[in-house]
Structure 1
Amino acid sequence: MKPDATRSRTSASRASMASALGLCLALATTAFARADIATPEQKRACTPDVYRLCAGEIPNVRAITACLRRQKANLSDACRAVFEQ
């Protein structure tokens, strides 16, 4: 594999991870009107579900949040709890 291709994949992977973490921040403000940022626990709870259920929506944070809400029945217990609080 060419070094440029490897670098490009690494950059895309980092961008996806940043988007998922951004989503967790959005979840905190959407799910918890009283909170300004997601807690580390909220991030840990929902990031795997973003990749599992809504990866096609990355990097659109609003679309990811809407996707997770639509997928509520399929969320992990931990992420579902974030949306139910």
Structure 2
Amino acid sequence: MTVVRTETVRQIAATLAVAASLTALASPGYSFTAEAQRQCTGDAFRLCSSEIPNISRITACMVKNRSSLSPGCRVELDKGLAMKSHRVAEQ
């Protein structure tokens, strides 16, 4: 019972960490969406599980492994990166 509970808590924490990493990529004009979480959670576990729960390391891992991301996650990641670079260009 404790093992199941621990694993469930870890999965929830990891999902929240992925969501937060996607939010960190986004500018204020780009809100994190449930679609981004749906598209990228599996990739984060598959490619970057060793980085969980460190948000900045998950983000860097996802960017580094962009070519290995699922197509849907790659689209969401690119949206966040595009908005972030647009925001930096405006400053």
TM-score where L is the length of structure 2 = 0.72
- 2:23 matches 1:28: yes
In structure 2, how many angstroms separate the alpha carbons of the residues matched to 1:21 and 1:36? Answer: 18
Unaligned runs of 5+ in 1: 1-5
State the shift of 1:9 in Å.
4.4
- 2:11 matches 1:16: yes
Give 1:38's aligned residue: 32
Q: When the two structures are aligned, how many residues end up with a matched partner? A: 79
User: Could you say which structure has the greater relative contact order, defined with CA pairs below 8 angstroms and 6 or more residues apart?
Assistant: 2
Task: Say which of 60, 64, 68 aligns to 1:66.
Answer: 60
In structure 1, how many angstroms separate the alpha carbons of the residues matched to 2:51 and 2:5? Answer: 19
SS of the equivalent of 1:68 reads: helix
47-56 or 6-15: bigger deviation: 6-15
Give 1:3's aligned residue: none
In structure 2, how many angstroms separate the alpha carbons of the residues matched to 1:76 and 1:7? Answer: 33
- 2:40 matches 1:55: no
In structure 1, how many angstroms separate the alpha carbons of the residues matched to 2:76 and 2:56? Answer: 16
60-69 or 6-15: bigger deviation: 6-15
- List structure 1 segments (4+ residues) > 4 angstroms apart after TM superposition: none
Task: Say which of 69, 72, 78 aligns to 2:72.
Answer: 78
Identity of aligned residues (%): 30
- Is the contact between residue 42 and residue 79 of structure 1 (CA under 8 Å) also seen in structure 2? yes
